[in-house]
Amino acid sequence: MKKKTPKGENMVECIWCGKEANEGVKNCYWITPDGKKTVEILSIPAIICPHCEPYVSDEITQKIEEALYLNDIAALGLKFSL
Ligand SMILES: [Zn+2]
């Protein structure tokens, strides 16, 4: 369920602790499906919970894995580096 903070940011419910968290971004290292390369993907949409470590939702994880599998990470519209 989405709510807005007074500043207009999206509020989300943390799937770990169930408390209110913010949407933000996070840089992550991802191993390609062939296991040969590590890519750094920048500015992945992430959940920033004040009680937990920032993390990437399953939905986004799945999208990134699909894009890596198809070797089409640019389709995600994310910045990345090899
Ligand atoms: Zn949390």
Please name which of 56, 58, 67, 51 lies closest in space to residue 17, comparing C-alpha atoms. Answer: 51
DSSP H helical segments within the chain, as ranges? 58-69
pTM score, whole prediction: 0.69
What pLDDT shows up at residue 82?
47
Contact 17, 51 (CB under 8 A): yes
For the chain, domain boundaries: 23-81
Ligand 1 centroid distance, CA of 72 (Å)? 31
Weakly modelled stretches of the chain, pLDDT under 50: 82
Contact 35, 19 (CB under 8 A): no
pLDDT tens per residue across span 33-46: 888 888 888 888 99
Contact 36, 48 (CB under 8 A): no
Ligand 1 centroid distance, CA of 1 (Å)? 15
CA–CA separation, 61 and 9 (whole Å):
22
